[in-house]
Chain A
Amino acid sequence: MLEIKNLNVTLEGDCGKVQVIKDINLTLDNKKIYVITGPNGGGKSSIAKAVMGIYPISSGRILLDGVDVSAMEIFERARSGIGYAFQQPPRFKGIKVRELLSWAAGSEDAEKLHELLFEVGLCAEDYLDREINTAFSGGELKRIEIASILARNLKVAMFDEPEAGIDLWSFQKLTETFIKMNEKYDTTIVIISHQERILRLADEVILVADGKISEITSHEKILGEIQLLDSDCIYNKDCCKGGRPNAR
């Protein structure tokens, strides 16, 4: 179980200090799939980055199975069982797909590496010995990134817009992979997404806007509301106060 208690994150930007997370409280149970959604710049990725240790927290606590990981380094949180798939994964000159996945899996077992790439719709023979450099498309890079998370037996796996750049066939396979990962390894899955088909996977949907959680709800409810409301309104109920929202 992952518990986020009174979490605040303030970052130093070009325009001075910006509070990107504002007193968030959240409990994520084992074996569940959560989808975090909300407007761009609302703080979705910031929550995941704070949990992974990429963004420093200003105040609050993060507990994994009751253990406070708030002061841990990124690698220590990773070893504790937290993983994060980047929205825009980095490229590495000289590092091959085989090496990255081996580091992630803690094993060079060829069968395992083949399986990981198959799960994300890539052919191991074509990809394992290629460098993770500019020759890869955004979609290929994204799939390798997801494979690097699948490689690890995580307690909490967070995916930041995993569907971006993925074709339809692979998208279908990806959703099956999330379900399998959740069921087989009891991994808590957190997916940051706006995609309807991703939302349908969710046991719970967490709406985040302006650095705060505005609602935790079911995908049935939120998808039903999307039928009725402008998408901007669904993320921020305050804008709809005082009047009936326009039906589409």
Chain B
Amino acid sequence: MLDDIDKRLLEEVADLHEIPQGAYNIRKNGKGIQRNTTANIDIITKTDKPGIDVIIKPGTRNESVHIPVILSQSLDDLVYNTFEIGADSDVVIVAGCGIHNTGSKQARHDGIHEFFVRKGAKMKYVEKHYGEGDGTGDRILNPKTVIEVEEDGIVELEMVQIKGVDKTLRDTIVRLHKNARLIVSERLLTYLDQTAESDITVELLGEDSTAQVISRSVAQNESKQIFHLNMRGYASCRGHIQCDSIIMHNAQVSSIPEITALDSNAQLIHEAAIGKIASDQLIKLMSLGLTEKEAEESILHGFLK
């Protein structure tokens, strides 16, 4: 069922060298092709629209769910996935998407993910996007992620897109209730004439909720990036957004910050910076014996790690 291209895409987006242990659902060209469930994690096909419900029992700990998506032909794929993360559970969800497009038509995947992280649960969500193929058709990935984090819940998001995606519109909305905690790490690289837009909205609704969003990007060649990072504090809470971009060649980057405090005890910080690779960084690494190209690659690799 999985050919060599599929296996390579799975390795790129989900670090999978073989079929994973534990629960998984592999979607290829618009259809679910392989699935496994466990005693604590159930995966059910939706009946009203394309997609799955992933249900994790309360108290499930140290288990993972892989839900990679593969597109190896030109098509528009739309999927709705819903995740129920039971109270006091501690799980990792890996949800990458890889496109291999050799045709002249676009290959597009719109993944709409909704998460309910119940009281005291901890979830790490890893999403990697990757594109390849020598076709002229665009490789497009538009993820929408909506997360509700209940009291004492902890969510860690790791969102990475560093190769081969021509167009992306990323929309992430997180709502944090009492004492809930969010850590977001976004890494994005665009080159040639690729475009990327990332909208992240964090609503700190509950007392003592905290959020940290660190977004780092590199824009090369003629590519364009837009970031809207919006944090809203409705209670006594703490939030920090850090948005750094390295701009190269003829690229364009727009970083639009917004922080709103609707409670006098809300503490919100936004830091944003756009700039070239600092010359003193290059010189330092070259003075250790790295060529200019090696120094540049090392700086970019570290920045996007």
A contact residues vs B (CB 8 Å cutoff):
52, 54, 73-75, 78-79, 83-84, 86, 89-90, 92-96, 99-100, 103-104, 106, 148, 152
Partner of A92, one of B283, B288, B289, B302: B302
Which residues of B have CB within 8 Å of A99? 298, 302
Question: Smallest CB-CB separation from A145: which chain B residue?
Answer: B284
A103 touches B298 (CB 8 A): yes
A94 touches B283 (CB 8 A): no
- A interface footprint on B273-293 (CB within 8 Å = 1, 0 otherwise): 000001011011111111110
B281 touches A90 (CB 8 A): yes
Known: A75-B292, A78-B289, A90-B278. A95 touches B283 (CB 8 A): no
A75 touches B302 (CB 8 A): no
A75 touches B284 (CB 8 A): no
Partner of A103, one of B244, B278, B285: B285
B290 touches A103 (CB 8 A): yes
How many whole Å from B38's CB to the nearest CB in chain A?
33
| 7 CB < 8 A contacts A-B | A52-B287, A74-B286, A75-B289, A90-B278, A90-B284, A94-B304, A104-B288
A94 touches B305 (CB 8 A): yes
B286 touches A78 (CB 8 A): yes
Most B CB within 10 A of own CB, among A75, A96, A104: A75
Q: How many A-B residue pairs have CB under 8 A?
A: 60
Question: Smallest CB-CB separation from A79: which chain B residue?
Answer: B289
A84 touches B281 (CB 8 A): no
How many whole Å from A207's CB to the nearest CB in chain B?
26
The reply on B129 being an interface residue by CB < 8 A is no
Which residues of A have CB within 8 Å of B281? 90, 92
State the interface size on chain B (CB cutoff 8 A).
Answer: 23
Which residues of A have CB within 8 Å of B66? none
B290 touches A89 (CB 8 A): no
- A interface footprint on B13-35 (CB within 8 Å = 1, 0 otherwise): 00000000000000000000000
Partner of A73, one of B216, B286, B301, B303: B286
Nearest 6 CB-CB pairings of A with B = A94-B302, A95-B302, A74-B286, A90-B280, A78-B289, A94-B303
Which residues of B have CB within 8 Å of A93? 216, 244, 302-303
B299 touches A54 (CB 8 A): no
How many whole Å from B185's CB to the nearest CB in chain A?
11
Cα distance, A89 to B281, chains bound together (Å): 8
Cα distance, A104 to B298, chains bound together (Å): 13
Question: Smallest CB-CB separation from B244: which chain A residue?
Answer: A93
Cα distance, A83 to B287, chains bound together (Å): 7
How many whole Å from A108's CB to the nearest CB in chain B?
14
Which residues of B have CB within 8 Å of A152? 288-289
A75 touches B299 (CB 8 A): no
Known: A75-B292, A79-B289, A103-B290. A94 touches B216 (CB 8 A): yes
Known: A90-B280, A94-B305, A95-B299. A75 touches B216 (CB 8 A): no
Given pairs A78-B286, A100-B288, 7 additional interface contacts (CB within 8 A): A54-B287, A74-B287, A83-B287, A90-B278, A94-B304, A94-B305, A152-B289
Which residues of B have CB within 8 Å of A104? 288
Partner of A54, one of B283, B289, B298, B305: B283
- A interface footprint on B227-269 (CB within 8 Å = 1, 0 otherwise): 0000000000000000010000000000000000000000000
Which residues of B have CB within 8 Å of A106? 289
How many whole Å from B285's CB to the nearest CB in chain A?
7
Question: Smallest CB-CB separation from A131: which chain B residue?
Answer: B302
Which residues of B have CB within 8 Å of A148? 288
Partner of B280, one of A78, A86, A100, A103: A86
Cα distance, A73 to B283, chains bound together (Å): 10
B299 touches A103 (CB 8 A): no
- A interface footprint on B190-226 (CB within 8 Å = 1, 0 otherwise): 0000000000000000000000000010000000000
A75 touches B304 (CB 8 A): no
Which residues of B have CB within 8 Å of A54? 283, 287
Which residues of B have CB within 8 Å of A79? 289
Which residues of A have CB within 8 Å of B289? 75, 78-79, 103, 106, 152
A75 touches B298 (CB 8 A): no
Cα distance, A99 to B287, chains bound together (Å): 15
B288 touches A78 (CB 8 A): yes
How many whole Å from B290's CB to the nearest CB in chain A?
6
Question: Smallest CB-CB separation from A148: which chain B residue?
Answer: B288
Most A CB within 10 A of own CB, among B280, B288, B301: B288
Partner of B287, one of A78, A94, A95: A78
Cα distance, A94 to B291, chains bound together (Å): 19
How many whole Å from B275's CB to the nearest CB in chain A?
11
Which residues of A have CB within 8 Å of B285? 103
Most A CB within 10 A of own CB, among B216, B284, B285: B284
